[in-house]
Amino acid sequence: MLDPLFSPYKIKNLPLKNRFALAPMTRKQSPGGIPTATVAEYYRRRAAGGVGLIITEGTLPEHSLAAHDTNIPRIAEDTVEGWRLVLDGIRPTGTKTFVQIWHQGPKARPGIGATSIEEEGGTVVEEAVGESKQELFDAFVKGSVLAKKTGFDGIELHGAHGYLLDSFLRAGQVDFVCDLVCEVRRQVGAGYPICIRFSQWGVGDFDARQFHSPQDMENVLLPLKDAGIDIFHASTRRFWLPEFDDSDLNLGGWTRKITDAPTMTVGNIGLVTRELFGDGPESIHELMRRYNNGEFDMVAIGRPLISDPDWCQKVRDGEQDRIVGYTDETKNTYP
């Protein structure tokens, strides 16, 4: 039943062996921001386990407020070698790799974002204006260019979950993100895949909503597409939930309908193996109904691929009894 998801796909001219992606997941295993041989092994195992596309964990551009945890990987000249080790491990499997470029923006303390935040009488998040805004812009452009030079097959801009780029989208400054995408496009060239991840929900606020109607989505997504986005990654926590009243399309479904661009869905796909192979809303029946309905082109899998690097292969080969489920015992599996 899942065969169509195991069919090849192309993002621009980038051939993917199937439509499954490893969702970006922060692992904090890169001391000093430099991916180690263990990080390379983590990604190699998931590539060998059959996903068509790996989206790396959130990776920081060169900016002092991007994040304050030094175990999160960075994209910078001094990390190129570490990332090449990762890519060398993945390449023989035929799996392709996007790096997710992530600035925590207003979620970091101290932080910077589209608007300032005061807490207990002090400014904890600085409003990005003028030069400080330009620095953020430049950091993302530089990181994107370096991603291409390093050998990544494409980039995913993290524009979701309330982090930096999302703060601009939510503040109505879509232009900032569009200008950024245009400049990245200008510098990486026409053929290089650029994805953007976006969401309704935010970290620490699962009920946040920036889109109250399909029209709201249009106002953000169409300019992004015009700016040069090739694929939209619509981040939801449960893929089967309709986004708006009067239609059962999920966020990805609306994205696909509005933009007519390649779209990836995500959220609780296969988190509980028994439910995936059952009859409920979490099942492959519902997933494939939506896929066949044209709601998305690709699916991203997060937690199930932490606990079982071979999840894709086992699902493809009907070996669901052998899947190592995501539990309290397996949730920290590494590499």
Ligand X SMILES: Cc1cc2nc3c(=O)[nH]c(=O)nc-3n(C[C@H](O)[C@H](O)[C@H](O)COP(=O)(O)O)c2cc1C
User: Which stretch, 177-185, 242-250, 283-291, 296-304, contacts ligand X (CB under 6 A)?
Assistant: 296-304
Contacts with ligand X: how many residues (CB under 6 A)? 20
Write out the binding residues for ligand X, residues 96-115 only, by CB under 6 A.
100, 102
Residue 195, both tokens: 């994805």
User: Which stretch, 5-13, 17-25, 145-153, 223-231, contacts ligand X (CB under 6 A)?
Assistant: 17-25
CB of 334 to ligand X, least distance (A): 11
CB of 276 to ligand X, least distance (A): 11
DSSP one-letter code for 331: T
DSSP one-letter code for 310: T
Hey, how many other C-beta atoms are within 10 angstroms of the C-beta on 207?
A: 7
Coil, strand or helix at 311: helix
Q: Are 79 and 134 in contact (CB under 8 A)?
A: no
Which run of H or E residues covers position 9? strand 9-11
By beta-carbon proximity to ligand X, the closer residue of 237 and 322 is 237
Q: How many CA atoms lie within 13 A of 12 on its CB side?
A: 17
Write out the binding residues for ligand X, residues 245-274 only, by CB under 6 A.
266-269, 271
Please give the residue whose beta carbon sits closest to ligand X in the complex: 302
CB of 168 to ligand X, least distance (A): 16
Coil, strand or helix at 55: strand
CB of 326 to ligand X, least distance (A): 8
CB of 57 to ligand X, least distance (A): 5
Coil, strand or helix at 63: coil
By CB under 6 A, residue 333 contacts ligand X? no
Integer Rg of the chain from CA: 19
CB of 211 to ligand X, least distance (A): 17
Coil, strand or helix at 303: helix
By beta-carbon proximity to ligand X, the closer residue of 202 and 262 is 202
Give the angle 205-207-211 at the CA atoms, nearest 5°: 115
Which phi and psi angles does 74 have, rounded to 5°?
-120, 160
Write out the binding residues for ligand X, residues 119-148 only, by CB under 6 A.
none
Q: Are 272 and 282 in contact (CB under 8 A)?
A: yes
Contact residue for ligand X among 282, 303, 307, 311 (CB under 6 A): 303
CB of 267 to ligand X, least distance (A): 5
User: Which stretch, 43-51, 274-282, 297-305, 310-318, contacts ligand X (CB under 6 A)?
Assistant: 297-305
By CB under 6 A, residue 24 contacts ligand X? yes
Q: Are 236 and 266 in contact (CB under 8 A)?
A: yes
CB of 239 to ligand X, least distance (A): 8
Rounded Cα distance between 75 and 59, Å, is: 6
By beta-carbon proximity to ligand X, the closer residue of 19 and 158 is 158
Question: Which residue ranges make up the site for ligand X (CB under 6 A)?
Answer: 23-26, 57-58, 100, 102, 158, 160, 197, 235, 266-269, 271, 301-303
